[in-house]
Structure 1
Amino acid sequence: MRYQLVQTAERLELHDTQDPQMGAVYVDFIGGKAQHRLQFGGGKGQDIAKAIGLNKYAHPYVVDATAGLGRESFVLASLGCKVLMLERNPTVYALLEDGLKRAQACTDEPLQTIIERMSLERNSAQSWLSTLTPDHYPDVIYLDPMFPERQKSALVQKEMRFFHTVVGNDEDDAELVDLARHKVHKRVVVKRPHKAPWLGDNKPAFVIGAKAAIRFDVYLPYPSNT
């Protein structure tokens, strides 16, 4: 197997056995990119905060249905959201679980306040949402589906190479948006590359960051939810 989970003295890491020079992939809420974005990401002025609706909703309950390495869940929790991360891939789930446990053991009080707003469940978004009853609908469902790698593109960064190889592309993302709109109170937010098509050719209600490298398509819940 090309990718292997390795428990080091510090953390759980994913190693590329064919290209060890690429370095390890791991979840880190204590330092690294998560903390850098926390300090310099722009707070509630950044596009993801606008897309989630933090200018309208105080402390919304957000389900990050495709959690990945959890960085955007961490950002949303730092902005006051209660965040449930869903991850169906066992390897990614293990990395997330390890990152959360290490952050929970940290004595930094501001970090603890953020981590207390985050929870994790191993489940597919489809399975979890399908059994959800109206009294448990989240305010917002956030989706960051895997975008197919371009064959002619330059070598993707190590984390994206891992996701394309181990996790694969999301073949059911258009159906997932439709399901999410049946199971949410306020909105469904989908992260997309600038030139990517709408999921399933479904036009969003509005778009945040339409001219940026990454945009956020926002869909409103179906009327039956209210």
Structure 2
Amino acid sequence: MLTVSNTEGGLIASLPIGIASEDPEQRDAARRLAHRLGLPLLTSPLDRSTIALVLTAQRLEIRHPGLGSPLFVDFVKGAMGYRRRRGEGRQQPLARAIGLKGNICPTVLDATAGLGRDAFVLASLGCQVLLLEQSPIVGALLEDGLERARQAPESAPVVARMAFIQANAIDWMAKLSTRDLPEVVYLDPMYPERTKSALVKKEMRLLRTLVGDGENAPLLLEAALKCARQRVVVKRPRLAPTVAGLKPDFAIESKNTRFDVYLLRKRSKNP
């Protein structure tokens, strides 16, 4: 049985992960998902000894008592739905860092997609975004959120500009041919969330157990610089050091976040 570990203490410590179905009509789907992810089906009541990936009648979500509320992806309602309706536009820091201006909508490779929130914002602004996520568990949540968003008229046009691949980003970028190179590579390496919200802290702690602590950020940046046609954008805490000490061409800051932007010249790559 797959386990995840957390050395920070407080939420999870070497706990197994399994698949469960809350709705009897989802049992076959849960069985197929368990087979695809190589995880066991859970039949006993959920407790603190297991992290559960649960299929409900509405969605796929991660549950654990230490997490509080379930963790799931929702591009239709909640915070993402609010951001879509509000339409923050191209003057927001993320859009400026990516290079959105006028009618320019670069193709973006989000190499650390996670729960897909920044990718959804970029797609809502007109970008074609390819999302890569290494964790098959986080990837399953993301796929579920994308599929539900495709069924909703208000979000379907946005997710039509999003495509997802579950893959190791470093390996995947290295295999791209010249004609397939994205204009922009976006990186959001995992880092400790600086927030007063205990719930967000628990969410981020769980995500770190699933996707890692960002130790491979220097290798990700190196691969991205060889892959992007125009620029690489790295999201960081506002006061954090740059990845691998590499100075960006410029940075765009918001209250808590900084986007380091590395501009590139055309580079040769074997087709």
Please give the TM-score of this superposition, normalised by the length of structure 1. 0.90
Alignment of 1:15-34 (within 5 A): 15-16=63-64, 18-19=65-66, 22-34=68-80
Unaligned runs of 5+ in 2: 1-15, 17-49
Paired AA for residue 101 in structure 2: N
**Which of the numbers 173, 176, 181 marks the counterpart of 2:225?**
181
SS in 2 for 1:43: coil
Number of residue-to-residue matches in the alignment: 219
Structure 1 residues 61, 223: closer, same or farther in 2, change over 3 A? closer
C-alpha RMSD of matched pairs (Å): 2.0
Alpha-carbon deviations, 1:62-121, whole Å to 9, x = none?
011000111111100000000000001011000001111111122x1x422111000100
Structure number with bigger Rg: 2
Give the CA deviation at 1:166: 2.4
**Which of the numbers 189, 210, 217 marks the counterpart of 1:166?**
210
| Stretches (4+) displaced over 3 A | 153-156
CA distance in 2, matches of 1:165, 1:125: 18
Alpha-carbon deviations, 1:118-176, whole Å to 9, x = none?
010000110110101111100100000011468xx984533212112222202111121
Paired AA for residue 215 in structure 1: R
Give the CA deviation at 1:43: 1.2
SS in 1 for 2:73: coil
Paired AA for residue 172 in structure 1: N
Paired AA for residue 62 in structure 2: L
Task: Give the % identical residues.
Answer: 45
SS in 2 for 1:142: strand
Paired AA for residue 116 in structure 2: G
Which one scores higher on RCO, CA 8 angstroms, separation ≥ 6? 1
What is the aligned partner in structure 2 of residue 3 from structure 1? 51
Paired AA for residue 264 in structure 2: P
What is the aligned partner in structure 1 of residue 247 from structure 2? 203
Q: Does 1:214 align with 2:257?
A: yes
For the 8 Å contact 1:67–1:85, the answer to whether it is kept is yes
For the 8 Å contact 1:189–1:219, the answer to whether it is kept is yes
